[in-house]
Every structure is written in C-alpha cells, then in structure tokens.
Amino acid sequence: MTLRLFAAVYPPADVAGRVHVACAPLHDAAPTIRWEPPGRLHCTVRFYGAVEADGVAMIAAGLAEAARLFDPLPVEVRGLGAFPAWGRARVVWAGVRADPKFELLHHEIEVRAMALGFEVEGRVFRPHLTLARVPADVELPVRRAIREAARGVRVRERFTVDEVVLMSSTAGPTGTRHEAVARAPLGRH
C-alpha cells in the first residue's frame, strides 16, 4: 500500500476559524474556487510524496527526532499572497512569520528526509497557510477579483507550534481527505 505523505503544522481551531472568517471577502469574490475549510488550514513543512506503508515508521521517527530538538515556536499569521503571483495564482495563501528556529526545524526535517533517500526539495522554505488552490482553467477576471478582495483583508493571528504532524493525503470524488498518521511534539518529552 502506498500513502501520499506530508509533514505539517496546524494552527489551533480558534485561530484557523478567525483566519477563515477574515478571508470571507476572498471566498465571496471567487465562490467557484474550492477554499480550504478552517480545519484543513496548515503549513506544510515537508512533502514526501508517495511512500510505501513500511516506510512510514522511519519518516515518523525522523520527524520525532527533529521535533525533540526544538521548544515550542511562536508564529504569526500575517498578510496574504499568491504563488507564483496574483495574476497567475495557483495557490492563495496567508503568510506565516515565525521564530527563526522554525526554519531550523524545517532544515532538521529535511536532513532526516534526505537520510531516508528523499530528494532535496530544492526551493526556499516559505511558510504559509494554503487558503485555496486555483485550477489552471480559472479565468483572469476571477484571479483579479481575488487580488482586489485581498487588498481589503487584514489577517493577523498568533499561535505556538507545539507539534509537527505527519499527514496522509488521499484524493477522492468529493475532494482530498487528510488524515494524521503520526504526531511529533516539539521539545524533550
């Protein structure tokens, strides 16, 4: 059996709910795009891709090793953006500004993934909460409407990262389902 895995951090439910409410003008501007519900807002720390089930324990152990090296980390959700740019948006996001140790945590997770044979991701770590994925066939006026709506939205929330969660992602007819596979608390427990 193969699982599609990624490691992520999740804001608390109340923070995710407030971010979701603050972004309501974006949802209203482009209601045909599938916006992430509050419970699915997360910051991906490492994408592993397809992994055989017998490799999950090794990945979970590596995450736990990396997480133990760090105390809980303060982060701030602030600002909106799009990858690669608003006019060609594929992903609409809320920015995550974190303690510099968050990047070190990402690095430690990356080192352990490489030790297991995973390729280096090869891009700068830009932490963010994905608000929506924009299909390629969405027309330019809709993309512009999202950008215009974003200009009036102010997002500013704080929370503490206290664990990294190994998630499995399964595509289905009603969308993608995410399920926690393992949890790696930050700090020495």
Q: Which domains does the chain have, with CATH numbers?
A: 2-185 (3.90.1140.10)
pLDDT for res 189? 53
* pLDDT digits 0-9 by tens, 68-107: 999 999 999 999 999 999 888 899 999 999 889 999 999 9
Could you list the active site residues? 42, 128
* Predicted local distance difference test score (pLDDT) of residue 74: 96
Cα 147 to Cα 80, 82, 91, 177: the distances in Å are 9, 9, 12, 28
Q: Write out the two tokens for 124.
A: 């700068």
pLDDT tens by residue, 149-167: 999 999 999 999 999 999 9
pLDDT in the model for residue 121: 79
Q: Which pLDDT belongs to residue 28?
A: 96
Q: Would you say the pTM of this structure is higher than 0.85?
A: yes
CA distance 170 to 34: 16
Predicted local distance difference test score (pLDDT) of residue 34: 87
Burial of 81 (0-12, 13-18, 19+ CB in 10 A): middle
Top-confidence range, 98-102, 128-132, 172-176: 128-132
> How do residues 115-124 score in pLDDT, each as one tens digit?
999 998 778 8
